[in-house]
A and B are shown apart, each in its own frame.
Chain A
Amino acid sequence: MSFRKMMTCMLAAGVAVSGLTAIAVAGEFDGVTVNILTRPGYVIAGRLAERGKEFEAATGGKIVVTEVPFAEIFPKIQNDWSTGTNSIDVGVFAAGWGVELDAAGLLEDMDPYVAKDTKLDLADVAPYFREFGQKVGGKTKLLMVDGDFQMVYFRKDVLEKAGLQPPKTWEDYLDVASKIHGQDMNGDGQADYGSCIFKKRNAQSYFAIQTVAASFVQTQGTAQGFHFDAATMKPVVNNEAWKKAFELYKETGKYGPPEELNMDIGDTRAIFKAGRCGLLIEWGDPGPLQLDPDATAVKGLIFAVGAVGSKEVLDRATGKLVPVTKENAPFSVDGINYAPFAAFGGWAGAINAKADQKKKDAAYAFLSYMNQAAQSNVDVTIGATGYNPYRFSQLASTDLWVKAGMPADLAENYMGAINGALNNLNMASDMKIPGAQKYTGVVLDTELARYLAGEITVDEALKNIEAGWEEVTEDFGRDEQIKAQALALGTGN
Chain B
Amino acid sequence: MSLSDAIGRPGISPAGNSPAESWGEWFDRHSRTFFIAPAVTLILIFAIFPTFYSIVFALSRVRFTADGLQFRFVGFQNFAKQFFGNDQVHFLGKTDSMGAFGTVFLVAVTAAVLWWLYRSLAITSWVGMLGRIVSATMAIFVAWVMAASLLSGNTIGTLLTTLFYVFVGCAVQFAIGTGLAFLCSQPILGKNFFRVIFFIPLMVTPLGVGYAMKMVADITKGPFEPLLRGFGIENWVWSADPWAARFVMMICDSWQWIPFIFICMLAALENVPRDHVEAAEVDGASSIQIFREITWPQIVPVAVTVLLIRMIEAFKIVDLPNIMTGGGPGSSTESMTLHSLYIWRSNDIGTSAAVAYLLLILTVVVCASFFNYVVLGQLRKARA
Contacts and interface: CB of A to CB of B under 8 A. Distances in A.
B327 to A, nearest CB: 6
A201 B240 CA distance: 12
A75 B330 contact: no
A173 to B, nearest CB: 21
A75 B240 contact: no
A165 to B, nearest CB: 28
A456 B94 contact: yes
Contacts of A203: 326
Nearest to A203: B326
A437 interface: yes
Contact of B155 (A72, A81, A446, A456): A456
A438 B345 CA distance: 10
Nearest to A202: B326
Contacts of B346: 75, 437-438, 441-442
Interface string B297-330: 0000000000000000000000000000111111
Looking at chain A, what size class is its interface with the partner chain?
Answer: 35 or more
B90 to A, nearest CB: 7
Interface string A51-92: 000000000000000000001101100110111100000000
Contacts of A438: 346-348
A455 B64 contact: no
A258 B244 CA distance: 14
Interface in A70-117: 71-72, 74-75, 78-79, 81-84, 104-106
A470 to B, nearest CB: 9
Contact of B90 (A200, A201, A446): A446
Interface string B200-223: 000000000000000000101000
Interface in B33-49: none
Given A259-B240, A438-B348, A442-B346, A453 B329 contact: yes
A262 B348 contact: no
The secondary-structure label for the interface of chain B is loop
Interface string A225-259: 00000000000000000000000000000000111
The secondary-structure label for the interface of chain A is helix
B65 interface: yes
B330 A455 contact: yes
B66 A105 contact: yes
A437 B347 CA distance: 10
A467 interface: yes
B174 to A, nearest CB: 30
Interface of B: 61, 63-66, 68-69, 85-86, 89-90, 94, 155, 218, 220, 235-237, 239-240, 242, 325-332, 342, 345-348
Contacts of B64: 78-79, 82-83, 104
Interface string A434-456: 00011001100010011111111
A353 B66 contact: yes
Interface of A: 71-72, 74-75, 78-79, 81-84, 104-106, 200-203, 257-262, 353-354, 437-438, 441-442, 446, 449-456, 460, 464, 467-468, 471, 475
Nearest to A75: B347
A453 B332 contact: yes
A456 B89 contact: yes
A456 B86 CA distance: 13
8 contacts: A82-B69, A201-B330, A201-B331, A202-B327, A203-B326, A261-B240, A450-B89, A453-B328
B59 to A, nearest CB: 15
Contacts of A75: 345-347
B68 A258 contact: no
B86 A468 contact: yes
B66 A452 contact: no
Contacts of B242: 453-455
Contacts of B327: 201-202
A408 to B, nearest CB: 36
Contacts of A260: 240
A258 B330 contact: no
Given A202-B342, A454-B242, A456-B155, A446 B331 contact: yes
Which A-B residue pairs are the 3 nearest by beta carbons?
A: A453-B330, A105-B66, A453-B329
Contact of B331 (A262, A449, A475): A449
A446 B155 CA distance: 15
Contacts of A261: 239-240, 328-329
A82 B66 contact: yes
Most chain A CB atoms below 10 A, which of B63, B220, B235, B330: B330
A438 B69 CA distance: 18
Nearest to B236: A258
Given A259-B220, A260-B240, A442-B346, A452 B330 contact: yes
A258 B69 contact: no
Contacts of A79: 64, 347
A144 to B, nearest CB: 24
A460 B61 contact: no
A260 to B, nearest CB: 7
Contacts of B68: 82-84
Most chain A CB atoms below 10 A, which of B65, B86, B242: B86
Nearest to A200: B326
A273 to B, nearest CB: 15
A259 B239 contact: yes
Contacts of B328: 200-201, 261-262, 449, 453
Nearest to B242: A453
Nearest to A449: B330
Given A452-B330, A454-B330, A475-B61, A259 B237 contact: yes
Nearest to A78: B64
A354 to B, nearest CB: 8
Nearest to B72: A475
A78 B68 CA distance: 10
Contacts of A200: 326, 328
Given A104-B63, A446-B331, 10 more contacts: A71-B342, A72-B345, A82-B65, A257-B220, A258-B235, A258-B236, A437-B346, A453-B329, A455-B242, A475-B61
A442 B331 CA distance: 12
